[in-house]
Amino acid sequence: MVDKKFTVLDLLSLELHGHDEINLRCIAGRKGLSRQITVPDINRPGLALSGFYESFAYQRVQVFGRGEYAYLNKLDYEGKTDTIKLLFSFAIPCCIFTHNLEPSGTFLQMAEETGCAILVTDLESTELSNRLVRVFSNIFAPRKTMHGVLVEVFGEGILLCGHSGVGKSETALDLVERGHRLVADDIVEIRCVNGNTILGQGANSLISHHMEIRGLGIINVSELYGVGAIREQKEIQLIVELEEWDSNKIYDRIGTNQRTMDLLGVKIPAIEIPVKPGRNLPIIIEAAAMNERLKKMGYNSAKDFNQNVLKWIETGEAQAAYYGQDDIY
């Protein structure tokens, strides 16, 4: 759920663009703009208007399309307003009418009396429903902040983690110089969307594309490298943990054991890269990004190498190469 209260007024105030615009305007019941939206879903109240209020999902935003609008007009014409009064007896967050349809004066008057906001949009019912579900899934998604740098490399969202001073920002800057894109530096806000997708972005949109480079200070990546060097958000598809080289530690040299890290309940592939002078981290991360793409396409280099070695051993050529021809016979 969201960390703070999300109200109908917040829904009206959202700055959405393109295919996420919902174009809402309030025509009645402004006192209800302070009502909270607590459920990230919508409801079509057709059954409720017919008088069946058992299991009525009143906690959801109520969407009225052409069918509900026509039935409301029929009830108003016949003077059957009891079911409408019963509708407003529930603490519903708000009512949204699609196709720029505006309900009758009787309906608006009841909304004013009960303090329920009535909103209107020019979108069709199906399109509004799809957009609202996307908006709610984003707003109500579980989220937290992490210390790290998020970059996009060859289309893969890579989260660079590690202790302070290990070189995350310097590595990210080198990647930007090589044509890749920065999403966020230092503080990354992550959220789980649809239960299986982890999206990352800057915790503060005003400073997310600034980087702190020790010895240089704060730089603005978008101003230095252009808007093509930044991105607002990106799905996290790989985690790269940078750590100081430890000569006593055994690092994975083949890659057959796939490590993962849990982010908000989702397992994300993770690799560990030791850092020491002379290692070209940007090239290693580029190779890791391309290797991850290959895995998604069904090819695993480590497993393929392992299978080839086993085939080589089975043919007997490995014994001949190790022992020599005379030792075998």
Per-position DSSP letters for 74-89, written without gaps between them = HHHHHT--HHHHHHHT
Nearest CA-CA partner of 258 in 242, 243, 244, 239: 239
pTM of structure: 0.75
Q: At 317, is the secondary structure helix, strand, or coil?
A: helix
Residue in 17, 19, 249, 253 annotated catalytic:
253
pLDDT reported for residue 11: 95
Residues with Cβ within 8 Å of residue 235, at least 6 apart in sequence: 157, 197, 198, 199, 200
Q: Would you list the DSSP string of 239-275?
A: EEEEEE--TTS---SS--S-EEEEETTEEEEEEEEEE
Residue in 5, 80, 144, 147 annotated catalytic:
147
Tokens 């252009």 correspond to 226
pLDDT reported for residue 322: 62
Q: Which CATH architecture has domain 143-298?
A: 3-Layer(aba) Sandwich (3.40)
pLDDT reported for residue 297: 86
Domains in the chain: boundaries: 8-139, 143-298
Residue in 186, 191, 210, 231 annotated catalytic:
186
Note whether 8-139 and 143-298 share their fold: no
Domain 8-139 has CATH 3.40.1390.20: yes
The DSSP letter of residue 158 is: E
Q: pLDDT tens, 100-158?
A: 999 999 999 999 999 999 999 999 999 999 999 999 988 999 999 999 999 999 999 99
State which residues of the chain have pLDDT below 70.
Answer: 1-4, 254-256, 316-329
pLDDT reported for residue 319: 62
pLDDT reported for residue 2: 46
Residue in 60, 143, 168, 210 annotated catalytic:
168
Verify whether residue 147 is a known catalytic residue: yes
pLDDT reported for residue 310: 75
pLDDT reported for residue 271: 92
Nearest CA-CA partner of 172 in 189, 152, 154: 152
The DSSP letter of residue 36 is: B
